[in-house]
Amino acid sequence: MKFMNLTKPLEHLPAKVKLIFLGILTGVPISLFMGFYFLLNQKILTGAGILSFNVLAAYVVYYLWKFPENHKKLEHLYAFMVFLTSSISLLTNFTDITTHTWFILHPMLIFFSAGFQKGIKWNTVLLIVYTLVYLTAPYYLSEKLLPDYIVAQIFTASLLATVMMGYYTLEVEKKQKKMEHQANFDSLTDLHNRRYLLNVLKHKLNSRNRIDDQNPFSLILFDVDDFKKINDGYGHGTGDEVIRIVSDSAKRNIRSDDVISRWGGEEFLCFQKNIDLAASVKSAEKIMNDLRDQKFPRHLKVTASFGVVSCYSKFSLEELLHRVDTMLYYSKKKGKNTVSVCNYKSSDPGCSHCDPEQRDFCKSF
The span from the CA of 161 to the CA of 359, in Å, is 67
**Domain residue ranges of the chain, discontinuous segments joined by +:** 2-184, 192-345+353-364
* pLDDT one-digit tens code per residue, 241-265: 999 999 999 999 999 999 999 999 9
Which phi and psi angles does 338 have, rounded to 5°?
A: -150, 170
Sequential DSSP letters for 188-236: TT-SEEHHHHHHHHHHHHHHHHHHT----EEEEEEEETTHHHHHHHH-H
Is 336 exposed, middle or buried, given 0-12, 13-18 or 19+ CB atoms closer than 10 A? middle
The span from the CA of 121 to the CA of 185, in Å, is 31
* pLDDT one-digit tens code per residue, 95-127: 878 788 888 888 888 998 888 998 999 899 988
What is the pLDDT averaged over residues 331-343?
A: 91
Q: Does domain 192-345+353-364 have CATH number 3.30.70.270?
A: yes
Work out the number of other CB atoms within 10 angstroms of the CB of residue 272: 23
What confidence tier does 4 reach under pLDDT thresholds 50, 70, 90?
very low
Q: pLDDT at position 347, please?
A: 46
pTM comes to: 0.69
**What is the torsion angle, in degrees rounded to the nearest 10, for the CA atoms of residue 41, residue 43, residue 47 and residue 49?**
-170
CA angle, 261 then 267 then 268, to 5°? 30
